[in-house]
Structure 1
Amino acid sequence: MSGLTAPQATASLSTWLKYLEQLHTSAIDLGLDRVKAVGEKANLIKPAPCVITVAGTNGKGSTCAMLEAILIEAGYKVGVYSSPHLVRYNERVRINNEELDDSEHSKAFASVEAARGDISLSLFEFGTLAALTLFKTHKVDVVVLEVGLGGRLDATNIVDHDVSVITSLAIDHVDWLGDNIDVIGYEKAGIFRSGKPAICGQPHPPATVPAHADDIGAELHQVGYQFDYQVADDHWNWQCGAFDLPHLPLPNLPLPNAATALMALGTAELDISEEHIIQGLSKAQLPGRMQRVSDDPLIIMDVAHNPHSAEYFAQQLNRIKQKEGKKHIHAVVAMLHDKDIASTIAMMKDVVEHWYPASLTGPRAATADEILQYLPTDCTGFDKPEAAFDQALTQANRDDMVIVFGSFYTVGQITSHLR
């Protein structure tokens, strides 16, 4: 977009974000040529001695959080780049599990602006390069990158990373990746590197994943083959060949992602002990993932926004309901219209008794009416998640549960509302 004047490095973060939102015609613009050219010019292709890149339909954020927690316990200085954020942009970049000041983000944006010349960058591409700049500035030991969308053409894939991870594979982002699981598998496997470890935590992935690993000579480590795990009542066990880690603590985040994270660390040639793993798994948590924000009444928020993540969320809610003797579940739900609303709701119907659908705002937002068509006829829609949430709290008894799910935007708005 012409006629825009770049802010100064001392400008506020909000000023920079407003500028970047107007700078490029599309919020999502898949392709690596532009962002790679700027990354190479700014010497950002290898931002740390060790880089782990994490792709997948679900579980990316929790896998990154567990990698981060274990690495910090092992004494490494760790940078994590994730998206989207729930409330504040600063959530997207963490160094040793701490957010950075607005001023640091502004300086990083100014650095990327100076390097890009007349090359156009989307907001996500700009943010990715700024995150890499911050990791280099802070001289981190390990960078953990969460892929934004797909993998092969995502901006994070310009980086020379040491370990590639696919957490899970399901149909999502159909507007950008299509509804063919083989194509989705190929797009995610596009982060694999020749001669380097490639971890796949999806049982029985589409054939395109191992085929691509074989084609380029990546070292594939597949759950159920090169590594595996078993769960007991109060612990779990992890195996890789003859190597065994027994009696590990159950994490607060999904167990399949913990097993995948351990395989990634096992191939990364880092100095990590069993004690580091135990302590890291015990401490790892992530806002918006099975997040208990209150016990009286019990309020749980989760960004589950597709059938795969909703199925896991429903299983966990059913377990909590039985274990803690809760009677009814009141669900606040708001989603984006490009998601599989019908199948996502279907996964939750067996555990939810009372529904409070709400409209989101923005070009991708679904209205409450769109969600209502998949719910019982006696349900009422709300114009925003906050109103739905307040009504759910009013209707719920002390021995009920109130849950919030459907989108990062939904959980983010309720998080702000509670604050």
Structure 2
Amino acid sequence: MEIKKFNNYKIKWNINSETMIKPGLDRIKKALDLLGNPQDKQKIIHVAGTNGKGSTIAFMRAIASEHKLKYGSFTSPCLIDVHDQIQLNGNNVTEAQMDHAFGQLVNVGISGMLTDFELLTVVAFIVFAEQDLDVVFIEAGMGGRFDSTNVIKQSVAVIPSISIDHTNFLGETIEEISWHKAGIIKDHGKLILGDTLQSSKEVIWKEVNSQNAQLIEINKDFQIRKNSYNYKNYAFEELTPQMLGKHQLSNMALAITAMIETGFILNEENVRKAVRKASLPGRMEKWNDHVYMDGAHNQASIDALVDTIKQYFPNERIHFIIGILKDKDYKYILSRLEEVATSFEFVDFKHERALDATTLFNHCTHSDKRVTKDIHLIDLHKPKKESVTIVSGSLYLITELKGINS
């Protein structure tokens, strides 16, 4: 999948890279060696997992900001274009900073060595290395063990959740997927672990032991009860995230713990302000009074979305605008959403792996459903006033609809 506006830099600087996904670290390690290993110049928190990565990083960014820390972040996928994937203190990387990084790539002759995502990862490390930062937050692109971000010698690792996703690359069982995620644990490092299945924990414990690492686990080593957080000498009260859903309390607790274990001294009032401000596009994002956007696209995230709807909109009529990628379990997604839906609108959107809206229509058993082939006909500024509209199924759908309705 093409990263928006990334090709502009590749063409401008005459650097080639492959668009396909090719797990493995040999290529990117060679490239980083040529550049003097910029990835080793910062304190890093590395986040992998199936769901919750982006939200956990959003909480950490807010906490860093409220404590006047200088930080960088690398996340995926892009929401508008490549510039929002690399951020410095909450601001998108600039064209000048991207050009400077690409200039360094040209100097060491990196063209043709990498995939697009590997190349972008290298660019992010170059950008961060040239800044005076207190901490960098890195989100694994897919999996962990063989993901291009997993070239860091030392980091605090965070795994918010593990469930079935990307089975063509990571395997079809929780144990196989957990093995990939656990690959971000470093020698004598630390892992902050969210709530996971016992079968997943067993795989992670084995990796923790083999790496002589320290496991710090939610509901065991640190707790979040209602809106109170407890860990070591820290006791924070009245923590009220604006991001909806009980799973966000867990992500918040992981973020706080990761910051503490990275060595930062946190202030209760600053943390309280931070979690109120933390937000993430496409995660129960409030578009207006009647429209929310949530990029849920796998079993665990759809389960969380349905729970959130039941909790916050128990007596509301729910209209779904849905678009899903072909490789997702769309039958499960539809069956869960049908539990809370009043009506469905299936839409075609621009992505090479987008599932035809008619296929979704045919597999949906709900009586009130329709297909919109032209996404430009969807006006989010004029939603059904008598119901709550939720756009879901893919972050790529959300990004396109935002562009049309901006």
**Which residue of the partner structure matches residue 363 of structure 1?**
352
Deviation at 1:362, TM superposition (A): 3.6
Alpha-carbon distance between aligned partners in 1 of 2:336 and 2:253, rounded to the nearest angstrom: 24
**Which residue of the partner structure matches residue 312 of structure 2?**
320
**Which residue of the partner structure matches residue 417 of structure 1?**
404
**Which residue of the partner structure matches residue 380 of structure 1?**
370
Contact 2:59 2:278 in 1 (8 A): yes
The residue type paired with residue 278 of structure 2 is: A
The residue type paired with residue 398 of structure 1 is: K
Alpha-carbon distance between aligned partners in 1 of 2:332 and 2:114, rounded to the nearest angstrom: 35
Alpha-carbon distance between aligned partners in 1 of 2:13 and 2:386, rounded to the nearest angstrom: 46
Deviation at 1:23, TM superposition (A): 3.0
Alpha-carbon distance between aligned partners in 2 of 1:208 and 1:135, rounded to the nearest angstrom: 32
Please tell me whether residue 332 in structure 1 is matched to residue 312 in structure 2: no
Please tell me whether residue 248 in structure 1 is matched to residue 239 in structure 2: yes
Please tell me whether residue 408 in structure 1 is matched to residue 406 in structure 2: no
**Does the residue aligned with 2:78 lie in a helix, a strand or coil?**
coil
**Which residue of the partner structure matches residue 8 of structure 1?**
none
**Which residue of the partner structure matches residue 68 of structure 2?**
75
Contact 1:195 1:219 in 2 (8 A): yes
**Which residue of the partner structure matches residue 271 of structure 2?**
277
Alpha-carbon distance between aligned partners in 1 of 2:119 and 2:394, rounded to the nearest angstrom: 23
Alpha-carbon distance between aligned partners in 1 of 2:25 and 2:109, rounded to the nearest angstrom: 14
**Does the residue aligned with 2:141 lie in a helix, a strand or coil?**
coil
Normalized against structure 1, the TM-score is what? Answer: 0.88
Deviation at 1:239, TM superposition (A): 2.0
- In structure 2, relative to structure 1, the CA distance for the partners of 1:282 and 1:193 (3 Å cut) is same
**Which residue of the partner structure matches residue 293 of structure 1?**
287
Alpha-carbon distance between aligned partners in 2 of 1:373 and 1:22, rounded to the nearest angstrom: 44
Deviation at 1:19, TM superposition (A): 7.4
Aligned-pair identity (%): 27
Larger mean CA deviation between 61-70 and 98-107 belongs to: 98-107
Deviation at 1:105, TM superposition (A): 1.6
**Which residue of the partner structure matches residue 125 of structure 1?**
118
Alpha-carbon distance between aligned partners in 2 of 1:227 and 1:377, rounded to the nearest angstrom: 42
Please tell me whether residue 16 in structure 1 is matched to residue 2 in structure 2: no
Q: Equivalent residues in 2 for 1:8-407 (5 A)?
A: 15-17=8-10, 23-117=16-110, 120-205=113-198, 206=200, 207-231=202-226, 236-241=227-232, 243-252=234-243, 254-295=248-289, 298-322=290-314, 326=316, 328-376=317-365, 379-387=369-377, 389-390=378-379, 397-407=384-394
Contact 2:15 2:106 in 1 (8 A): no
Contact 1:81 1:94 in 2 (8 A): yes
Cα deviation digits, residues 357-404 of structure 1 (max 9, x gap): 1223343221112222331365332224443x34x877x531211111
Cα deviation digits, residues 325-383 of structure 1 (max 9, x gap): 63x11111111111111112222111111111122334322111222233136533222
Deviation at 1:225, TM superposition (A): 1.5
Deviation at 1:315, TM superposition (A): 1.9
**Does the residue aligned with 1:23 lie in a helix, a strand or coil?**
coil
**Does the residue aligned with 2:371 lie in a helix, a strand or coil?**
coil
Alpha-carbon distance between aligned partners in 1 of 2:77 and 2:14, rounded to the nearest angstrom: 15
**Which residue of the partner structure matches residue 9 of structure 1?**
none
Alpha-carbon distance between aligned partners in 2 of 1:359 and 1:17, rounded to the nearest angstrom: 29
- In structure 2, relative to structure 1, the CA distance for the partners of 1:294 and 1:117 (3 Å cut) is closer
Alpha-carbon distance between aligned partners in 2 of 1:185 and 1:270, rounded to the nearest angstrom: 29
**Does the residue aligned with 1:357 lie in a helix, a strand or coil?**
strand
Structure 1 unaligned runs (5+)? 1-11
Alpha-carbon distance between aligned partners in 2 of 1:414 and 1:272, rounded to the nearest angstrom: 38
- In structure 2, relative to structure 1, the CA distance for the partners of 1:377 and 1:310 (3 Å cut) is closer
**Does the residue aligned with 1:403 lie in a helix, a strand or coil?**
strand
Larger mean CA deviation between 185-194 and 26-35 belongs to: 26-35
Deviation at 1:142, TM superposition (A): 0.7
Alpha-carbon distance between aligned partners in 2 of 1:89 and 1:167, rounded to the nearest angstrom: 25
Normalized against structure 2, the TM-score is what? Answer: 0.91
Alpha-carbon distance between aligned partners in 1 of 2:147 and 2:13, rounded to the nearest angstrom: 18
Larger mean CA deviation between 75-84 and 355-364 belongs to: 355-364
Alpha-carbon distance between aligned partners in 2 of 1:224 and 1:17, rounded to the nearest angstrom: 46
Contact 1:48 1:139 in 2 (8 A): no
Contact 2:56 2:255 in 1 (8 A): yes
**Does the residue aligned with 1:257 lie in a helix, a strand or coil?**
helix
- In structure 2, relative to structure 1, the CA distance for the partners of 1:397 and 1:332 (3 Å cut) is closer
Structure 2 unaligned runs (5+)? none
- In structure 2, relative to structure 1, the CA distance for the partners of 1:21 and 1:85 (3 Å cut) is farther
Larger mean CA deviation between 270-279 and 281-290 belongs to: 270-279
Contact 1:48 1:143 in 2 (8 A): no
Larger mean CA deviation between 164-173 and 214-223 belongs to: 214-223
Contact 2:338 2:366 in 1 (8 A): no
Alpha-carbon distance between aligned partners in 2 of 1:174 and 1:370, rounded to the nearest angstrom: 21
The residue type paired with residue 54 of structure 2 is: G
